[in-house]
Amino acid sequence: MSETVTKTNLLGLSLPKLQAYFVSMDEKPFRAVQVMKWIHQRGVTDFDAMTDISKSLRDKLKTNAEIRLPNVVQEYLSSDGCYKWIVQVASGSRVETVYIPEAGRATLCISSQAGCTLDCSFCATGKQGFNSNLTTAEIIGQLWWANHRLNGFAEPRAGAGKSNRAVSNIVMMGMGEPLLNFDNVMDALHLMMEDNAYGLSKRRVTVSTAGVVPAIDRMKDYTDASLAISLHAPNDELRNQIVPVNKKYPIRELLRSVKDYMASLPDKRVPVVEYTLIAGVNDHRQHARELAALLKDFPCKINLIPFNPFEQSDYRRPSNSSVNTFREILQQADYTVTVRTTRGDDIGAACGQLVGEVADQTKRSARYRKAAELSAANRLDVHNVV
């Protein structure tokens, strides 16, 4: 009986790991650069097509390795030009990847987990519970797919510089908390910024975290990617309700950790503070004034995100007047403030709406369904009595 060979998936290997892999095969480390360029710059997954390596090495790779991509099972195109792809990962769960084209840039929002353990109250992903961490190949595979689907692996156009990649910016803001899948996310970031892979600027690759402080403290030893923090409240009492991880890592501790990370970077970047505005919850004038005072000694940019409704939530989107007033108070305090334009909401791709299909191990999704059913039944009983 012949033994089944477990093949190494080269898609998710950072350059140091790919070099180590070739050394383990008694090959020269420079082979790693050749193969990496074929995979990530030319979009090639067939070893036979890698014409600058010997046939004997190609045969060896076919026996021992593979380039296995996550399976894209569905595609949606929004009326505003955004794409959403449903990606099936090894656990059987499905995650979502969103492509957002804008003037002068094209952003890919990448998922790092199937579901999420944090259960932030404004986020549809958390209501799905949690199944698994994505592998590095499943994370970077979302970027590979976007470039493949949108012709980003084509030869650069004349006068277009070294690349005409479909994706210019990455935000780790899809499903999951990236820093709870630390090792795989760090390797994926390496590939995104590696000159022999995607070559994206550290200013154009952003990790968004709800505030996992020990992981932020570790980041300086692994990456110099940009950082965004999901704050969403100006005090611990309110943030405990909206972002439950705050009970473990309160605001003061989070801001200290972020300042330390930013101080470790070789340039003068500042973090982005993300603040989802929820009608009647955290969008009052006093919240804006309190936020301005909180961030007084914390250099940052502030991104206001009007809440995007989804089925499992009773939260409401704030009025345009509330959003504008909140922004003006912060601007008067000399903050740089942007308001995120809602994109892709007609296909459920807007911020906070990503759901996917999670084989929930936490039972959380079942609890939310039961609560929703009870709430609907109560509303029906009240209607009948009236």
Task: Kindly list the catalytic residues.
Answer: 96, 351
Instruction: Evaluate whether 238 touches 146 at the Cβ level (below 8 Å).
Output: no
Q: What angle do helix axes 30-40 and 136-149 make, rounded to 10 degrees?
A: 50
Strands (E), 268-346: 272-277, 301-306, 336-339
For residue 76, give both structure tokens: 């949606």
At a CB cut-off of 8 Å and minimum separation 6, what does 282 contact?
232, 233, 234, 238, 242, 275, 276
Choose among 139, 244, 143, 231: nearest CA to 183: 139
* Main-chain dihedrals φ then ψ at residue 130, nearest 5 degrees: -140, 140
Q: What is the DSSP letter of 110?
A: -
**What are the structure tokens assigned to 57, written together?**
């090495």
Are 14 and 187 in contact by the 8 Å Cβ rule? The answer is yes
Buried b (16+ CB within 10 A) or exposed e, 262-286: beebeeebebbbbbbbbeebbbeee
Q: By the 8 A CB rule, do 353 and 124 touch?
A: yes
Provide the phi-psi class of 161: left if phi over 0, else alpha when psi is between -120 and 50, else beta: left
* Greatest C-alpha distance within the chain: 80
H helix intervals, 177-303? 182-193, 213-219, 236-242, 251-263, 285-294
Which residues are paired to 95 by β-bridges?
Answer: 87
